[in-house]
Chain A
């Protein structure tokens, strides 16, 4: 699994639960090291062993843990760069949702060897959407659920999100109801604010 994904988990755990927790989990998972390199690729096995160790250590179901990871990726100051890249997707939350169809291509433009599963937005009605997360990365739809929730806050939109399950093609489905697109102020996004 790509180092960026592993590094994201490391960053989330260290920022949220502390470095001690991270070190214990790397030991239980028998990684043999404690720091992931963002630009190297690791065995998928290692990442899932680590996830199991973390969830056991924190006594939390994997889905919940991964949803929190998704929220962290958007809302934590450590991840401002990533939040900005996502905000380039659109001026409104709905535009952003539509840009998710291109997300895996956008990601590959930036980091050629980071392959994320395809996403597909289905517009059921003007305020009802389904996001279809194609298979390829276990737990991806959980991360996306947390991420979409945090992005709604970022845009100031009021949205209800639930993971409704997996269809017969192995596609995870997230259902969304947009209650109000301008519910709150949202966070600022300045195109020219690159650091």
Chain B
């Protein structure tokens, strides 16, 4: 049979975080790695429960109870800072003492930093180093995946944005307008919808070329954005056709003024590489309250009817949809 010194030596090699206890719970020897955690205060001679706080099993408060219990697994913490948590396994000795083998468990990540541990502090069979390796390797791999995910998400958002954007003018496209209109109708919102048609645009395209036409469309888009609020919708739904949706707006006077301002600004001649492009605009407006069915197609159609009326009145006019006119068309 080994004496205590020989046993301590053996344990020091196999499990460098052991404590060898007397029958009364006094630490007789402590493993080199465990002692390293409190290098300024030798553990031998101190009571185990003075150095460590027993977290589990909860019911046990004295060393005598611990030895009397069947429990072999412990969960302890240092009583002083840093209060590193350790797991332990108790094995009683025939002479009344005990060996407790401690280990870090999951607290190892902080422990290697807090105590500047090295590979030499762990026994050769301990998986601590492999665990640390895995944590670093997995974190690096996860970081690479995360950054790929972020880039893919960015690309997806950009693609979605494009799918809802008219690439020439940067306005919303027909698809986006349909979505927004659908949403407004289903939430029973109050809104006004303007259908705006550029007059004489075909002439600019034919006489000055497509580049001039594109320039006019971009300028017109800019003007429409400037004359509307941020949460209004401006969409280009066809060659020279636009739809403007004003949320929460049903005041005819306000809408009339917006329409007049739009027309007057669009009528100002635009310059394209020294050439003058002159266009105008006709606008038809429908109010959501005018369409009891609240069907997006009916609302668009009503604005269309009003636009037709505006065009019949000559270029550069604005007309509201009038319910009685419906029968006439």
A11 to chain B, nearest CB (A): 12
Interface check A39, CB cutoff 8 A: yes
Partner of A91 from the list B114, B119, B137 (CB cut-off 8 Å) is B119
Chain A residues near B113: list those with CB within 8 A. Answer: 192-193
**B120-162: which have CB < 8 Å to A?**
120, 129-130, 132-141, 144-145, 148, 151
The answer to whether B132 touches A88, judged by C-beta atoms less than 8 angstroms apart, is: yes
With A91-B120, A192-B117 in contact, is A109–B145 under 8 Å at CB? no
With A39-B148, A91-B119 in contact, is A110–B132 under 8 Å at CB? no
Inter-chain CA distance A39–B145, complex, in Å, is: 6
Interface check B90, CB cutoff 8 A: no
Inter-chain CA distance A73–B130, complex, in Å, is: 21
B 62-77 to A, binary, CB cutoff 8 A, 1 in contact else 0: 0000000000000000
Interface check A124, CB cutoff 8 A: no
Chain B residues near A193: list those with CB within 8 A. Answer: 113
Chain A interfacial residues counted at CB < 8 A: 20
With A37-B148, A91-B119, A91-B120 in contact, is A194–B135 under 8 Å at CB? yes
Chain A residues near B117: list those with CB within 8 A. Answer: 191-192
**A95-122: which have CB < 8 Å to B?**
106, 109-111
Interface check A21, CB cutoff 8 A: no
With A192-B112, A194-B135 in contact, is A39–B144 under 8 Å at CB? yes
Interface check A84, CB cutoff 8 A: yes
Interface check B116, CB cutoff 8 A: yes
Inter-chain CA distance A109–B141, complex, in Å, is: 10
Closest 7 CB pairs of A and B: A192-B113, A110-B137, A192-B112, A88-B133, A38-B144, A191-B112, A39-B148
Using a CB–CB cutoff of 8 Å, the interface residues on chain A facing chain B are: 4, 37-40, 81, 84-85, 88, 90-91, 106, 109-111, 190-194
User: What would 27 A/B residue contacts be, using CB atoms closer than 8 Å?
Assistant: A37-B148, A38-B144, A81-B136, A84-B136, A85-B133, A85-B137, A85-B140, A88-B129, A88-B133, A88-B136, A91-B120, A106-B133, A109-B137, A110-B134, A110-B137, A110-B138, A111-B141, A190-B116, A191-B112, A191-B132, A192-B109, A192-B113, A192-B117, A194-B109, A194-B132, A194-B135, A194-B136
